[in-house]
Structure 1
């Protein structure tokens, strides 16, 4: 007898897709998946219903925060930045003239000094930069504590400003007699300068001179040798051989 064609039929031993017969009828895997999906949906709806207020108010709060940020940036921060830059121009002019006292508090022509720029616009980029200008100005008029405070308040970023910040701190600490702190700051200035041979060479030379003056001849010799080898293009490197010879004789 010819075999029946089984195409489209169930493989032997698999459950029927028809209505289950009796309580012991097997449950199809597809039916289990459908039940699971329904349960997940029902649980999700139940969670939303129980926490509707929290979810809605949370979404509103996030939307208000985002909107508030854009309103603040557009109508407060950006205008304040422009105003601070305009107010600081006259102080910068006095700074370039080495009129540091005027630059700090009374630059003239209605402009604000660096101290007032920091006080009124400290949250802006211009206000932050005014910290550095104020630090250098106070350093030049001999008020080293104030110079140190403003330098430490300056939030330096980029590849040049961090080195300059540490350099000013080193100068102020040195003038205050805090030599170990000054040495540490000059080291930080050199490290922050990286491959910038002008800035790094300038502060490495200061570090070497200070170490020499403190009687730390071995460390000073290392500093001047590094100045010659790593930053030989810097203007200060021209004097390195002289100090190297002096320090080698002293050791």
Structure 2
């Protein structure tokens, strides 16, 4: 039988043949390793199939439960809370701006005309944003009614990232501690309220309150820092207009 060579074909050398054999062996090892890994994975899945399915089921239940809770329970609950809170907010606003403040603050707390008060909102809609906000309203109402312990209790439950309400809540707690004759606690809350946000309303207001309490506690150096910060950083604030007298007083006391 006749044989022929392709054009340009050269017989393989011994080295080339050995290289081809080695390359083939390496490829075979790779495929063998993959086959072994796949077999082990299959065995693991087969052996633990029940546990894997249970795990997947638990994850699915948690995810679906969370989505369902938000859509069908949490969201409607918050909407209902907002609706029921409307009258209590109205009483509160009227109390702040009106003359019969005590009776209106009591209505804001306990409700009236068959409507919920803030205490009802906190109880009935626990965990909702409205219940959280009701803690602020309730605490502030108690502060105005001179029930300082309840003011501290409810204001302490209020959590917020709001630019104004967050420091106001801390500052109101400070006001309550002043009335409870606990100036050290009041100073702590005034300092916290002043440092929580940087704005021209709450920051200088609580720096000033912190300064006046610090003077009472014979902490003139600390008071001076608060007052000078108002003068330097908040020159357009209401407090800046009266702070020079307090700076002078603090300097005199600090030099003694």
TM-score, normalised with respect to structure 2:
0.86
CA deviation string 1:148-192 (max 9, x = no partner): 111111112233332122112211222212211110111111110
Paired residues in the alignment total 240
Name the CA shift for 1:14/1:176 in 2 (closer, same or farther; >3 Å). farther
SS in structure 2 opposite 1:207? helix
Give the structure 1 partner of residue 107 of structure 2: 102
Corresponding position: 1:234 with 2:231: no
CA deviation string 1:205-246 (max 9, x = no partner): 111111122332222222111111111121111101121123
Taking the TM superposition and a 5 Å limit, the aligned residue runs for 1:13-92 are 14-15=17-18, 28-92=25-89
Q: Could you tell me how far 1:7 is from its partner in structure 2?
A: 6.0
Corresponding position: 1:178 with 2:182: yes
Structure 1 unaligned runs (5+)? Answer: 19-24
Structure 2 unaligned runs (5+)? Answer: 1-6, 96-103
Corresponding position: 1:245 with 2:248: yes
Alpha carbons 1:156, 1:165 under 8 Å: kept: no
**Whole-Å separation in 2 of the counterparts to 1:10 and 1:213:** 101
Corresponding position: 1:203 with 2:206: yes
Q: C-alpha root-mean-square deviation of aligned residues, in Å?
A: 2.2
**Whole-Å separation in 1 of the counterparts to 2:15 and 2:238:** 93
- By percentage of residues, which structure has more helix? 2
**Whole-Å separation in 2 of the counterparts to 1:122 and 1:174:** 30
CA deviation string 1:21-47 (max 9, x = no partner): xxxx99710010000000010000000
TM-score, normalised with respect to structure 1:
0.88
Q: Could you tell me how far 1:16 is from its partner in structure 2?
A: 6.7
**Whole-Å separation in 1 of the counterparts to 2:109 and 2:146:** 13
